[in-house]
Amino acid sequence: MATAAQQEFNHLLAANTCCNRDSQRRHDGKDKDDDNLSSDNDSDDQEAAYHSAQIDAAMRGTPSDSTPELKLPPSSFDNGRATGVKGVIADARAFQTARRSRWKDRARSARQSIFGLGGALNNGSRSESETDDDACSSVSPHVAPTQISPNQDSDEEAFMHQWREARRRELESEDSRPVRSRRTSPSVRIYGFLDEVDALGYLDAIEKVTRETKVVVFVYDDACDVSATLESALLPLVRHHPTIHFVKVHFDEIEFDPAAVPSILAYQNQGDLFANLTGLIELMPDEAHYTQDSLSRLLRKHNVL
């Protein structure tokens, strides 16, 4: 028969065991509820992310989904061009850029109207440096692209019409601006030197000038004394007529007939030969000495000076 002390001990032990069981049961139940809540939250997050990805994919659809973009050369090829082939390429590039920008704006507006405040909160979870393109690239590749709506063709036509009108107004405004041309800039270039050139320099001298500029080419032979004498007589005329571009070139450089050296060739209108004084010695037979005055008379006779 158990004593009173033994009975008291057994009673306390049983009560403690019962409390432990109740506490463990409550703890297990709480863990289970937390697991269920976490599972529900994960499921909700995954579903929200899936729907967000689907909407992003749909809203980010551009006209390029149905119309392939032109393969254009690098932008440096036509930078700043408005006419010719490069101008056409520049217009095509500007149109594609405007079209992509327009569809991104429409996608952004659609997302804001769909998500409302919730969309703003979701977008707030992005880093500030992340762009729309970065977000687009994070969309799962398994999401199927949305089919193009039947109204897209009419939208494309309307946008193209608006873009063409804007481009036309831009070109008209550019045409109405006063253009600073060579005729409104200092019209006369000052030379006053007898520049020595090679074959390429000879071509540049007669072509890369204004149409009003006269170019006088002295073809010389460094082994000919008469050539040196005529060059000395020509130098004062060069200084006295600074608006005329005087150059000299060796006959070998332009494959000139050595029997016709020294000679003077005069050009105007960017390459038109108007005075061909080939063989100056034969053109000045009565001159005992080749002086500045005798050479000046010959050049004035042929409207060079």
* Mean pLDDT of the region 206-225: 91
10 Å Cβ neighbour count for 256?
19
Q: What is the pLDDT of residues 163-180, one digit of tens each?
A: 778 777 777 776 666 554
What pLDDT score does 126 carry? Answer: 47
Is the bond leading into 262 cis (omega within 30 degrees of zero)?
yes
Mean pLDDT computed over every residue of the chain: 70
Domains of the chain with bracketed CATH = 7-142+152-172 (no CATH), 194-301 (3.40.30.10)
What pLDDT score does 165 carry? Answer: 80
Strands of the sheet with 194-196, listed across from one edge: 194-196, 245-250, 215-220, 263-268, 272-277
pLDDT band at 232 (very low <50, low <70, confident <90, very high): very high
* Mean pLDDT of the region 87-116: 66
Nearest alpha carbon to residue 246 among 256, 261, 235, 257: 235
Query: With helix as H, strand as E and coil as C, how does the chain read?
Result: CCCHHHHHHHHHHHHHHHHHHHHHHHHHHHHHHHHHHHHHHHHHHHHHHHHHHHHHHHHCCCHHHCCCCCCCCCHHHCCCCCCHHHHHHHHHHHHHHHHHHHHHHHHHHHHHHHHCHHHHHHHHCCCCCCCHHHHHHCCCCCCCCCCCCCCHHHHHHHHHHHHHHHHHHHHHHHHHCCCCCCCCCCCCCCCCCEEECCHHHHHHHHHCCCCCCCEEEEEECCCCHHHHHHHHHHHHHHHHCCCCEEEEEECCCCCCCHHHCCEEEEEECCCEEEEEECCHHHHCCCCCCCCHHHHHHHHHHCCCC
Residue 74, amino acid: P
What pLDDT score does 154 carry? Answer: 72
In the numeric block, which tokens belong to residue 149?
């709506």
59 vs 275: which has the higher pLDDT = 275
Q: What is the pLDDT of residues 147-167, one digit of tens each?
A: 445 566 676 777 777 777 877
Placement of tokens 């429409």 in the chain? 106
pLDDT band at 230 (very low <50, low <70, confident <90, very high): very high
Percent of the chain with pLDDT over 70: 46
**pLDDT of 215 strictly over 60:** yes
